């Protein structure tokens, strides 16, 4: 599966300029990912999936991310959202996976919808932004807050078919343009009981799917899984930027004459290469730690993971900026892969889970035994 992803990486790179112009993934890339069965990666074997764990997800997502950040971002989240579907109650999973071992869906984490309890389920209304994956979706996973009978307010995911939502073209951005993460509008949609999933249960790794499927993959807390999906494009493009810089220096050497490669360029290339390896080892260690602890992780473990992910993205941004400084003015042409990497990874770094100052504050508080507010750990 990792080999397939490495081969597909070249296709993502070749399609990157067109996808950026379209402001969504190209049909060619999505079709190739489907034909390579990439989206079945974490689906249960009982439904025809491969049931690979986070270590394979990491290597597959990273390989795709070296080709293009935007389309790998969509692919990574499609894979992760199949995993989310596997956390729902059994009846819905059997319905969803009856005809195919995966479904393509955005999952809008911000609970901006309004829900009303009705007989047999809920009525859902609202608008959601940041709908990564909506442009090729079969289903949609919007979030809203449910007030339970005891008065407790619980954020939840709701599952409904793509045909029941409306997409508004709002994705005019300066980075990650090819994700097509437009707004989704839902008007008076009925969500039957059994198509909801509690955020607190997902964060703790104690969902219906955790008891349904024996593989510990389905007891993994949500936030490190989500954060990993989002961090891989940053590391992938940091690695790709170092490769492009090396190729540029080799070309200068081959040209000879006045455009020789100086000592400063050697040092810059070496430092960037070592930094990328450090980021990779950090994330690889994080993956192994998450797989070892799963839902036995403490609050300190979870704040550490969140901080490590934010740090990895911050360092990836630094590597790309460092390389771009020495790569010359041609990196600022709009079709330059280096320029695209810088734009895309700066945008990735703006994601709420990668607010490094906030992550450091929470982890420091957790280390001192203080109460941790919010749910993003």
pLDDT score, position 260: 64
Would you say residue 169 has pLDDT above 70?
yes
- pTM of the predicted structure, to 2 decimals: 0.96
pLDDT confidence of 363, banded at 50, 70, 90?
Answer: very high
* Average pLDDT estimate for 318-338: 85
Would you say residue 257 has pLDDT above 60?
no
What's the whole-number average pLDDT of the chain? 95
Higher per-residue pLDDT: 253 or 135: 135
* Average pLDDT estimate for 34-40: 99
Would you say residue 108 has pLDDT above 70?
yes
Model confidence pLDDT, tens digit, residues 259-283: 566 788 899 999 999 999 999 999 9
Cβ neighbors of 257 (< 8 A, separation 6 or more) are none
* Average pLDDT estimate for 333-355: 94
Third-level CATH fold of 107-197 = Butyryl-CoA Dehydrogenase, subunit A; domain 2 (2.40.110)
Segment holding 189, helix H or strand E: strand 183-192
pLDDT score, position 375: 63
pLDDT score, position 372: 83
Segment holding 122, helix H or strand E: strand 121-128
Domain boundaries, the chain: 2-96, 107-197, 221-367
Model confidence pLDDT, tens digit, residues 284-316: 999 999 999 999 999 999 999 999 999 999 999
Other Cβ atoms closer than 10 A to 105? 29
Greatest Cα pair distance in the chain: 79
Would you say residue 202 has pLDDT above 60?
yes
pLDDT confidence of 326, banded at 50, 70, 90?
Answer: confident
pLDDT score, position 333: 72
Domain over 221-367 is classified CATH 1.20.140.10: yes
* Average pLDDT estimate for 354-367: 96
Model confidence pLDDT, tens digit, residues 68-82: 999 999 999 999 999
Residue 167, phi then psi, degrees to nearest 5:
-105, 130
Three-class SS string for 56-99? HHHHHHHHHHCCCHHHHHHHHHHHHHHHHHCCCCHHHHHHHCCC
Answer for the pair 181, 132: CB distance below 8 angstroms, yes or no: yes
pLDDT score, position 335: 81
* Average pLDDT estimate for 209-229: 97
Strands 166-168 and 160-161: unpaired
Cα separations (Å) of 115 from 111, 124, 149, 190, 237?
Answer: 10, 5, 14, 10, 39
| b/e burial code for range 185-207 (CB count within 10 A of at least 16 → b) | ebeebebeebbbbbbebbbbbbb
CATH no., domain 2-96: 1.10.540.10
Alpha helices (H) in the chain, listed in sequence order: 2-22, 27-35, 54-65, 69-85, 90-96, 199-204, 208-212, 222-255, 263-293, 299-327, 337-348, 356-367
């Amino acid at each position: 599966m990792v080999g397939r992803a490495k081969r597909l990486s070249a296709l993502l790179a070749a399609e990157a300029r067109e996808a950026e112009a379209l402001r969504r993934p190209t049909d060619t890339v999505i079709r190739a990912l489907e034909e390579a069965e990439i989206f079945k990666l974490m689906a249960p074997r009982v439904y025809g999936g491969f049931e690979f764990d986070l270590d394979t997800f990491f290597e597959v997502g990273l390989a795709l991310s070296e080709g293009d950040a935007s389309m790998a971002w969509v692919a990574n989240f499609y894979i992760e959202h199949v995993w989310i579907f596997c956390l729902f109650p059994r009846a819905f999973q059997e319905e969803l996976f009856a005809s195919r071992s995966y479904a393509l869906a955005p999952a809008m984490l911000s609970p901006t919808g309004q829900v009303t309890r009705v007989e047999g389920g809920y009525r859902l209304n609202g608008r959601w932004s940041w709908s990564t994956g909506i442009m090729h979706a079969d289903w949609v996973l919007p979030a809203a807050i449910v007030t339970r009978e005891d008065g407790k307010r619980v954020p939840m995911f709701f599952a409904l078919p793509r045909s029941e939502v409306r997409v508004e073209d709002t994705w005019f951005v300066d980075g990650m343009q090819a994700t097509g993460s437009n707004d989704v509008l839902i008007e008076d949609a009925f969500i039957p009981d059994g198509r909801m999933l509690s955020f607190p249960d997902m964060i703790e790794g104690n969902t219906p799917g955790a008891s349904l499927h024996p593989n510990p993959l389905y007891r993994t807390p949500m936030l490190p899984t989500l954060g990993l999906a989002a961090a891989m494009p940053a590391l992938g493009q940091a690695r790709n930027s170092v490769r492009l810089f090396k190729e540029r220096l080799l070309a200068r050497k081959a040209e000879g004459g006045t455009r020789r490669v100086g000592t400063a360029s050697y040092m810059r290339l070496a430092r960037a290469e070592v930094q990328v390896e450090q980021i990779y080892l950090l994330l690889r260690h994080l993956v192994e730690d998450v797989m070892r602890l799963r839902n036995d992780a403490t609050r300190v473990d979870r704040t550490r993971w969140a901080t490590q992910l934010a740090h990895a993205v911050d360092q990836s941004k630094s590597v790309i900026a460092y390389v771009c400084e020495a790569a010359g003015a041609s990196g600022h042409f709009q079709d330059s892969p280096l320029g695209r990497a810088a734009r895309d990874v700066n945008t990735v770094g703006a994601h709420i889970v990668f607010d490094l100052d906030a992550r450091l504050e929470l982890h420091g508080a957790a280390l001192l035994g203080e109460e941790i507010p919010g749910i993003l750990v």
